[in-house]
Amino acid sequence: MIYLDHAATTPLRREALDAMLPFLTEIFGNPSSAHAAGRKAKAALDEAHETVARILNGAPREVVFTSGGTEAINLAIKGAAWASKAHGNQIITTAVEHHAALHAVQHLERFGFEAVVLPVDRYGRVDPDAVAGAITDRTILVTLMLANNEVGTIQPIAEIIDRVRQHPRILVHLDAVQAAPYLPIDVATLGVDMVSIGAHKFEGPKGTGALWMRHGTTILPQTQGGSQERYRRAGTEDVAGAVGLAAAFDLCTRERTAEVRRLRRLRDRLRDAILAVPGVELTGHPRERLPGHLSVICRDADGVSITLALDLDGICASTGSACTTGSPEPSHVLTALGYPEEEALGAVRMSLGRQTTEAEVERAVEVIPRTMARMRAGADAMAADPLGQQVPV
């Protein structure tokens, strides 16, 4: 099997598993317990906070462990919105956000909050001036993703934050779930208030994420029942998950420079072969995109059919976000980029990871362009003879 869907999830790294195992077996204490077993678990949890904070250039007390990127995003958006309700009710976001963010904002609209969903250009980037122009005296939160999970486009975050920071009372949340393995995130220089990450995007365990919150940022907790995570997220902590996230994030960060260079080279090799197929178009920004991420539209073909055919050839790819797999609707990201529905349904996403080898990419170069060309030829034949009649050659 050749796995080209690392944007959906990654395999658990062996070093992360090794770090987790003791806390799934002999060191099983509740970190809130005062006895020796609890203190050992608490020490490991504290160390995980310190590791994540160091990587982000923040403070350990600013890190909140969650059940994943989705919960981190929800805690940031809903928690900040409710805590700031006395100052305003407007939330600014973009049309290409992950559904974790868009659905959280839509949920808040039911309670009197106002959402401003900004359009993006053909590459999936929002205009920083459009963000600035949307701000009013009622704006309380701007929530944006650093890099898109479907087309890989990296947003001009520094320029956007520069505009927003002219209004000191507005909070900024950055969804870095897809970007964290590949882009450096320094909260001290970025100027954001909250950052969400998810462990399974960088070979950590599924079901574990983290929200970094600048000290002094006020949120309304979304779960009640205990004082865990400094009263910001009640419930007995998943010590093993936090340890695994920290271990995987640390290794990923240490290897980032060399790995980004390698992934970009392999991705470009695959990109050039696929774009040589007539009717195949790159989606997302041609340069400002994640290094292992390749997303295309195969015109006059069905993306689901292409991925099923690739699966039969032992190649795992996707049509977009795993969170919307099975939906008959076209990608909201591609429609926001301006693609008509019939073209958006031809989307295919391939994403490389640390375990992707050069030999696997060479095999993919043989199989994927051939499959796409065959699917397009079949679609052309059906269009020429929709009733399946014999056509003279």
Which structural domains are found in the chain, ordered by start?
Answer: 60-236 (3.40.640.10), 256-382 (3.90.1150.10)
CA 215 to chain centre: 24
* C-alpha span between 112 and 288 (Å, rounded): 36
CA 278 to chain centre: 30
Catalytic residue among 252, 298, 316, 323: 323
Q: What pLDDT shows up at residue 320?
A: 77
Quick one: average pLDDT of 204-218?
97
Is there a catalytic annotation at residue 298? no
Q: Which residue has the tokens 């995987």?
A: 248
Identify the CA nearest to 301 among candidates 188, 224, 381: 381
One-character DSSP codes across 166-221? TSTT-EEEEE-TTTTTTS---HHHH--SEEEEEGGGGT--TT-EEEEE-TT-----
Burial of 114: CB neighbours in 10 Å, binned 0-12, 13-18, 19+:
middle
pLDDT in tens, 170-191: 999 999 999 999 999 999 999 9
Q: What pLDDT shows up at residue 381?
A: 56
Identify the CA nearest to 194 among candidates 46, 78, 42: 78
Quick one: average pLDDT of 242-263?
98
Model confidence at 125, pLDDT cuts 50, 70, 90, reads very high
pLDDT in tens, 341-368: 999 999 999 999 999 999 999 999 999 9
Angle, helix 358-384 to helix 239-275, in steps of 10 degrees: 60
